[in-house]
Structure 1
Amino acid sequence: DFSPSRAGEHARNFLGPWNGKLVCDDFAGYKASFQQGITEIGCMAHARRKFFDLHATNKSQLAEQALHSIGGLYEIERQARDMSDEDRWRIRQEKAAPLLDALHTWMLAQRDLVPEGSAMAKALDYSLKRWDALARYVDDGAVPIDNNPVENQIRPWALGRSNWLFAGSLRSGKRAAAIMSLIQSARMNGHDPYAYLKDVLTRLPTHRASEIDQLLPHRWAPA
């Protein structure tokens, strides 16, 4: 999708009538959607990043402790990677839930000790203010702990914005977003993007409009 700004209305319009579980950061544009029935799942990677940056900057021991605890949660996810949703839910309930409780208790205690307005206070506040959302993933084995896979897919375009500067027009932006989505979707489905686009563009002029969905990346087969 393409929008000319980061206004919350664009996120709401993109999600439309969808009513599921959204793994995301603390972007304010999502807030209205949560009030309309979408369930917020906090991205643990974004919470971790606050402590990672703090530790990288000044070797904060408190940040290191937080990273160690969050690392334990990710170790459980590595163990559960190839499990069914039901088995992943079980191991999260057994192992991750107690770790989350301990981490929450630790964060609350540290928040009372660190100076107001400090970098550590801000890192703790990011997690504490949305703790329910961050811990919610343990209650559904089908929900990931973070949205890193999506972040990795859009990173090339996020970096590209600094180099491209302009889309040219709203129409050009929408077209670029469509092409970018096709390219990344092709990659996710194991296709070479160049081969996919070359084949699809060759077949489009004679392909039946009623069967156009057969050219989507998840259904496409080389001619």
Structure 2
Amino acid sequence: FVEAGKAAPTKKKGTKVSKADVAIGKIRKLYAIEKRIETLPPEEKTRQRQQLAQPVLNDLKAWLEKNSTRVPRDSLTYKAMQYTLNQWDLLTGYCQDGKLHISNVLAENAIRPFAVGRKNWLFADTPRGAKASATVYSLIETAKANGIEPFAYLNSVLQHIGNAKMVEDVEALLPWNTSLNKMQKG
């Protein structure tokens, strides 16, 4: 919608707001709700989202369904409207779980260094190298997400993985199960 708003002709005084700008205004209301509830525990966030955000989401969906037929099919606004409607269940899923974020910006920020650096990583020139890279990167980011310093985590995994005999032994090394997690949170 931001791109569609920028692509819209410049507005003259007294003209109507673009449909892209209307959509952005409705989305901003959702982010304002998130700002107000950001410090609440997950259960309370879920309750607040269902009470406050769900009506805004319902209004947005109704508005999108009504207005998507009122814009040219080849416009950026139409494409944004259709994308939003096609992704509706994923878009609104955060209202069902207070641990989820309204945006995937945290995930995008986490993978940005990987995306920028991948051209420099010579070992990933084969499918196996790429898979190894993705595995290590996933471990590092999951360690960070669980409040564990990545180097200490990888060091611990490498020290103990050789002794793992059963699936449970390997699972005990995962970032949310490891003793490093308990030490850093305790």
TM-score above 0.5: yes
Cα deviations by residue, 1:67-91 (Å, 9 ceiling, x for unpaired)? 1211111221222223234322322
- One-letter code aligned to 1:160: G
Aligned with residue 171 of structure 1, among 122, 125, 128? 128
Compared CA separation, residues 84 and 191, structure 1 to 2 (3 A): closer
Match of 1:208 in 2: 163
3-state SS of the aligned residue for 1:88? helix
Match of 1:116 in 2: 73
Deviation at 1:125, TM superposition (A): 1.1
Match of 1:134 in 2: 91
Q: Percent identity?
A: 38
3-state SS of the aligned residue for 1:112? helix
3-state SS of the aligned residue for 2:124? coil
How far apart are the structure 2 equivalents of 1:79 and 1:122?
A: 31
Match of 2:107 in 1: 150
1:55 paired to 2:5: yes
> How much is the aligned-residue C-alpha RMSD, in angstroms?
3.1
Deviation at 1:124, TM superposition (A): 1.0
Compared CA separation, residues 130 and 168, structure 1 to 2 (3 A): closer
Deviation at 1:118, TM superposition (A): 1.3
- One-letter code aligned to 1:55: G
Gaps of 5+ in 2: 11-16
What's the TM-score, normalizing by structure 1? 0.61
How far apart are the structure 2 equivalents of 1:198 and 1:86?
A: 35
How far apart are the structure 2 equivalents of 1:123 and 1:69?
A: 14
Cα deviations by residue, 1:58-107 (Å, 9 ceiling, x for unpaired)? 56832222112111112212222232343223222221122112222222
Match of 1:35 in 2: none
- One-letter code aligned to 1:119: L
Deviation at 1:194, TM superposition (A): 3.4
Of the structure 1 ranges 104-113 and 51-60, higher mean CA displacement relative to structure 2 is found in: 51-60
Cα deviations by residue, 1:142-167 (Å, 9 ceiling, x for unpaired)? 54433333232222222333444772
Compared CA separation, residues 204 and 133, structure 1 to 2 (3 A): closer
How far apart are the structure 1 equivalents of 2:97 and 2:171?
A: 31
3-state SS of the aligned residue for 1:120? helix
Compared CA separation, residues 96 and 204, structure 1 to 2 (3 A): closer
Match of 2:60 in 1: 103
Match of 1:87 in 2: 44
Match of 2:14 in 1: none
Which structure has more RCO (C-alpha within 8 Å, separation ≥ 6)? 1
How far apart are the structure 2 equivalents of 1:189 and 1:138?
A: 22
Gaps of 5+ in 1: 1-50
Compared CA separation, residues 126 and 166, structure 1 to 2 (3 A): farther
Q: In proportion to residue count, which structure has more helix?
A: 2
